[in-house]
Structure 1
Amino acid sequence: MAAVRSQDTDLYMLMDDKQLRKLATLLRNQEEPLMMSIKSEPDRIKFLTECNDVYDITVKIVDISAELRKKHEASRSVDGLKADIAVNLQEYVKYGVNMSMQCIRNCGMRLSAVEKLKAHFDDLADELNKIDSRVDSDGIQSLAQEAAFYKQAMLEYANNFQSGSARAHSREYSMTLKQEGIQFPNLVDRHKNRLGYKEEFEFLEDDQKLEVYNSIINESGRANLPKVYKRNANPGAKAGGIAVLAMSASMMAWDIFTAEHKLEAVLNSAVSVLAEIGAFAVQVAVGSAVSTAVANVATGVLLVSLAGFVAGAVAGILFAAAAGALIDLILGSGGKAAPNLDHLKFYTGTMPDGMALANELSHYG
C-alpha cells in the first residue's frame, strides 16, 4: 500500500512495511550522531541505547503485526471475523508507528510510545489467537468492536497531532483559556468532573484518562474522536492497557492548551543561548507563565514552565535519556506533577523531522 496523505501540509500516512522500516532507519541514523554533543559517557550510552531500542521495537511491531494478519487471513474461509480483527490490529499498529515516528521528535518519548504500543498489541494479539469464536461469540464481537475503535482513534491522533490545518482549530480555544487564566490541571479537572469522575485524575484508569483527554480534544475542535470503547471482557482478558492511546491523547491536549503561546519559538530562542555550553540543568516552574523560558548562561540553567518543558521535549528541542519517563509522569497526573530534574543534565540539538522524512519517502520511496 502506498502512502496516504491526510491533508495538504499534513502527515503522510505510510502504510507500506518497507517504507516504515526505512523511516525507522533514517530516524536512527540521524539521531545517533547527536550523541557527539553529549560529553557524559553514561548519558551518551543511554541516548544511543534509546535510539537503538526505538528502532528495534518499531521494526519488530511492524513485522509481528504483519505476521498476525497473514496467519488469520490464511484461515479467513474458516473464521472471517478473526481475519478482520487481525487486519484492524495491523492498521492500528501502522497508524501508531506513523504517529510515533512523525509526530514525536524526542527519541526518549518515542521509545515510551512504541513500548506502550507493542505491549497493547501483544495483549490484543494474544487474546485474538486464544479466543474460540465458536464458543465465545460475545467475546469475539467485543474484541472486534474494540479493535475497530483503536484503529479509528489512532488514525485521528496521527492525522491531527501535528497537522497544520488541525492545529489552527486549537488556537481560538487556546486563546480563550489564556484569557480566562486557566492552567492545564484546571482544564483537566473541569473535563474530569463533567464526566462524573470523583477521584483525582492521577488515580483514574487509563481508559478514564483517555476519556478526559479526548473530551478536551473534541471540545477544542481539533478532532472528532470516537467515544472510548468500554469492553465487557472475560475476567482473564488482558487487553485493557490502552496506555499508548492515553499518551497520544494527552500530548495532543497539551499541544491544544499551548497553541496560542508560541512556545516552540520561545524555547528555541532560549536553548540557543545554552547550546554552546553543552549540558545544562532544567528547572521546572509549575506556576510560571506558560510562555516563560529564561536561559542563564552563567549558571547553565534553563528555567521553563511545566507546559514549556513538555512542549520542548515533544518538539525535540530539549532531550535527556529520561525524557520519556518524565513526560509520562506529567501527563499521567494531568499536569499536577512536577518532575525532580536535579539529577539530570539536558542537551539541545536539531532532532530529525520524521514528518519531513516521511514526505520524502512517499515521493521517492
Structure 2
Amino acid sequence: MASDIYFLAGDKLRQLATVIRGYEVENLKNLYFKSVGEQTTYLRICNSNQETVETILDVCGDLVTKYKDDTVRGPIAASLLSYMEVCLNNALQIFTDYTLRSSYLDKITTHLDNLINDFNDLDTSNPTDVAALTDLIQNYNEAMTNSTKMCVNSHASQEFSRNLKNSGIEFQTLVQNYQGTLGFDGLFEELEDTQKLLVYDAINEASGRGKVLNDKILKAIAVPTGRKEAGDISIKDAGTFLFTAAYITWDVYTSDHPIETAMRDAVKQVASLGGAVLQDIVEAAITTGLVGIEATALFVTGIGFVVGIVGSFILGAIAGEIFI
C-alpha cells in the first residue's frame, strides 16, 4: 500500500506514467519468462498502461480546449479533467502491480466513456440537467478523493487490524459477516458490484479508515433499482470504486499481519531460481506468505484478479528491491 500520495496533474502525470513504464521495461532483466510470447505480453501491457494514461488526459484536455469559451460546458469539462486526474493518480501510485493497474485503467476508461456520453447528450438549455451532471462529477470526484486519503491512512485502522489478527478471522469470514449485516444473500463473488462496494465500505468505516459512500455522495451517484430488498440501489460504474475499496479492505486486514515479510522472502527465494516465471513467483508468494490463511485472494473473491494479492510486491516501485 502506498505510504503517501502526491497529487500530480497534466504533464506531471504523463511524466510519471513514462517513468513507470521505463522502470518496468528495465525490470525485464530481473524476470524470467517461459517464452518470448510471455515477455511480449508483459511489454504490451506495460506500454498499454502508459498509452491509456496519455489517451485519458488527451481526451479530457481536448474537451477543455474545445469548450473553453462555453460558459455551460466549459466548467463541466474542466471538472471532468480534474476528476480523471484523481483516478490516474490512484492508478499510478496505488496500484503498483502492472496487471492490476491495467484492469483499473480499463475501468476508468469505460467510466470516462459513459461520462462523456452524458456530457455530449446534455441539454444545456435545461438548468436542472446541467446541475445534475455537474453535481454527479463533483461527487464522483469527492468519493474517489476520499478513497485516496483512506489508502494512505493505515494508522486509523491499527487497532481494528490488530483485533482481526488476534481473533484469527479469515478474510472471507470478515467479508461474509459484513455481507450478512447488510442483508446480501448468496456468494460474495456473485454479488453485484454495488453490493460488493457497500460491503467493503462498511468494513472500512468500521476499521476507522472512514466512509467513501456517505449519505450525500450516495444520494448524488446512486439510483434506485425498484427492488425492495436491502441495498436496493445501483451505482453506475461501481467497479471503478470497487478497486480502491477492495484494496483498502485488504490493507486493513493485512496491515498488522506478518504477510508482508513472508511474501517478500518467498518472492526473493523463487525469483532467484533460474527459469522461474512470474506466475510461479506469484503462486509461491501466496502459498508461503499466507500460512494459516485460506489462499483465496481478495481479488479472487472481490474482483477476480489472483495476482492482486501480491500487490506492490510485484513490479511496482518496490520491484528493484525484491529482485536483488
Unaligned runs of 5+ in 1: 1-8, 234-238, 294-303, 311-326, 355-365
Aligned partner (choices 18, 32, 49) of residue 25 of structure 1: 18
1:75 equivalent in alignment to 2:39: no
1:57 equivalent in alignment to 2:47: no
Q: Is the 8 A contact 1:174 1:259 kept in 2?
A: yes
SS at match of 2:302: helix
Q: Is the 8 A contact 2:262 2:288 kept in 1?
A: no
Residue type at the aligned position of 1:85: I
Map 1:195-274 to 2 at 5 A: 195-227=182-214, 228=218, 229-231=221-223, 240-274=236-270
Q: Identify the residue that residue 359 of structure 1 maps to in structure 2.
A: none
Q: Identify the residue that residue 301 of structure 2 maps to in structure 1.
A: 330
Shift of 1:170: 2.1
SS at match of 2:255: coil
TM-score computed with the length of structure 1 as normaliser: 0.71
Q: Is the 8 A contact 1:95 1:155 kept in 2?
A: yes
Shift of 1:87: 2.8
Distance in 2, Cα, partners of 1:174 & 1:291: 16
Residue type at the aligned position of 2:79: N
Shift of 1:194: 2.5
Shift of 1:285: 11
Q: CA 1:12/1:60 → structure 2, altered by over 3 Å: closer, same or farther?
A: same
Q: Is the 8 A contact 2:205 2:211 kept in 1?
A: yes
Distance in 2, Cα, partners of 1:51 & 1:25: 10
Distance in 1, Cα, partners of 2:271 & 2:188: 37
Aligned partner (choices 187, 193, 208) of residue 174 of structure 2: 187
Distance in 2, Cα, partners of 1:274 & 1:97: 32
| 1:162-186 CA-partner distances (Å, limit 9, x unpaired) | x2xx112222111112222222222
Q: Give the number of equivalent residue pairs.
A: 294
Distance in 2, Cα, partners of 1:283 & 1:29: 26
Distance in 1, Cα, partners of 2:238 & 2:251: 20
SS at match of 1:251: helix
Unaligned runs of 5+ in 2: 226-234, 319-324
Aligned partner (choices 82, 103, 114) of residue 112 of structure 1: 103
Q: Identify the residue that residue 317 of structure 2 maps to in structure 1.
A: 353
Shift of 1:216: 1.3
Q: Identify the residue that residue 147 of structure 1 maps to in structure 2.
A: 137
Structure 1 vs Structure 2: percent identity of aligned residues? 26
Q: CA 1:75/1:175 → structure 2, altered by over 3 Å: closer, same or farther?
A: same
Q: Identify the residue that residue 232 of structure 2 maps to in structure 1.
A: none
Shift of 1:220: 0.9
Q: Identify the residue that residue 279 of structure 1 maps to in structure 2.
A: 276
Distance in 1, Cα, partners of 2:190 & 2:130: 30
Shift of 1:44: 0.5
Shift of 1:59: 0.9
Q: CA 1:285/1:158 → structure 2, altered by over 3 Å: closer, same or farther?
A: closer
Residue type at the aligned position of 1:24: A
TM-score computed with the length of structure 2 as normaliser: 0.79
Distance in 2, Cα, partners of 1:285 & 1:273: 9
* Residue range with higher mean Cα deviation, 23-32 or 254-263: 254-263
Distance in 2, Cα, partners of 1:143 & 1:200: 34
Map 1:336-347 to 2 at 5 A: none
SS at match of 1:231: strand
Distance in 2, Cα, partners of 1:98 & 1:332: 20
Q: Is the 8 A contact 1:214 1:249 kept in 2?
A: yes
1:34 equivalent in alignment to 2:27: yes
Shift of 1:121: 0.8
| 1:108-138 CA-partner distances (Å, limit 9, x unpaired) | 1111111111110111111111121435x55
Shift of 1:291: 4.2
Q: Identify the residue that residue 295 of structure 2 maps to in structure 1.
A: 306
Q: Is the 8 A contact 1:66 1:90 kept in 2?
A: yes
Q: Which has the higher strand share?
A: 1
Residue type at the aligned position of 2:107: K
